[in-house]
A = this chain, B = another copy of it.
């Protein structure tokens, strides 16, 4: 029997920070056919609220330290303000969304990052056992569309902050056991560009052989490298394809190969 199809779609903070872009994106997301999951990042609101409350933002090597005060803020902003407003908009567009952290339904259970040289605080790392796909299937089979923010839990009562890209990828990999899964990263560019200054130079498809060639030619470098490395790791773990594209263009997803850059085997 053919597997059911599933899209796991991730939007970053830049979409959330622009209410017009967000409105447009959510309308298009609601119109995506079949099973789908939305994963959203945080945006600037959490940083702004922290500043207003006098909570210092601590970064080590560009990574945010989540102390107990910061965890309170992200739980309020990601899990409350952003997540519930997204859900209310999706309901308006006819999508039966349910807003979730990984604690809800025990959907994503992580482990607090061990302290080595740096104490990242209340940050949860995902491992193979973090996600039970059957548990999420029950929710989707009941007719609901999961909307995840970047918060998980350890199963012992502790909420933890977890990177939204990693959540999206881990969900896509785990759900590949039950679904033919496409992972979609929405960001501000049209996809992987041959020339970073030319939006028209979009590369439509990349397979592992072409990926190696693009790296050799240094067309893919710096910021794009870890993103694509992670994408191919997800593909090697069962995800059918990873698409990287512009949030404004999501409506094009329904037309085969007309949205973003498609990575597959």
Q: Which residues of A contact B (CB under 8 A)?
A: 52-53, 72, 75-81, 83-85, 87-89, 91-92, 96-101, 103-106, 138-139, 141-144, 151, 153, 155-159
Sorted nearest first, the 10 A-B pairs with minimum C-beta distance are A80-B80, A76-B76, A92-B157, A79-B80, A76-B80, A88-B103, A138-B142, A142-B142, A98-B104, A88-B153
Copies of this protein, total: 2
Q: Chain A contact residues: over half helix, strand or loop, or mixed?
A: helix
- The one of B88, B101, B104, B138 in contact with A159, judged by C-beta atoms closer than 8 angstroms, is B88
Tell which of A53, A81, A91 has the most Cβ of chain B within 10 Å. A91
Chain B neighbourhood of A75, CB < 8 A: 80-81, 84-85
CB-based contact A103/B91 at 8 Å: yes
**Pairs across A and B, CB under 8 Å, 20 listed:** A72-B81, A75-B85, A76-B76, A76-B80, A78-B80, A79-B79, A80-B80, A80-B81, A84-B101, A84-B151, A87-B101, A87-B103, A88-B103, A91-B103, A97-B104, A98-B105, A99-B101, A105-B144, A139-B139, A141-B142
What's the Cα separation between A53 and B87 when bound, in Å? 25
Closest Cβ of chain B to A203, distance in Å, is 36
Tell which of A138, A142, A159 has the most Cβ of chain B within 10 Å. A142
Closest Cβ of chain B to A84, distance in Å, is 5
What's the Cα separation between A52 and B142 when bound, in Å? 41
CB-based contact A155/B103 at 8 Å: no
What's the Cα separation between A151 and B87 when bound, in Å? 12
What's the Cα separation between A85 and B158 when bound, in Å? 8
Q: Which residue on chain B has the smallest CB distance to residue A78?
A: B80
What's the Cα separation between A53 and B153 when bound, in Å? 28
Closest Cβ of chain B to A86, distance in Å, is 9
Q: Which residue on chain B has the smallest CB distance to residue A101?
A: B84
Chain B neighbourhood of A81, CB < 8 A: 72, 75-76, 79-80
Chain B neighbourhood of A153, CB < 8 A: 88, 91
Closest Cβ of chain B to A112, distance in Å, is 13
Tell which of A84, A85, A100 has the most Cβ of chain B within 10 Å. A84
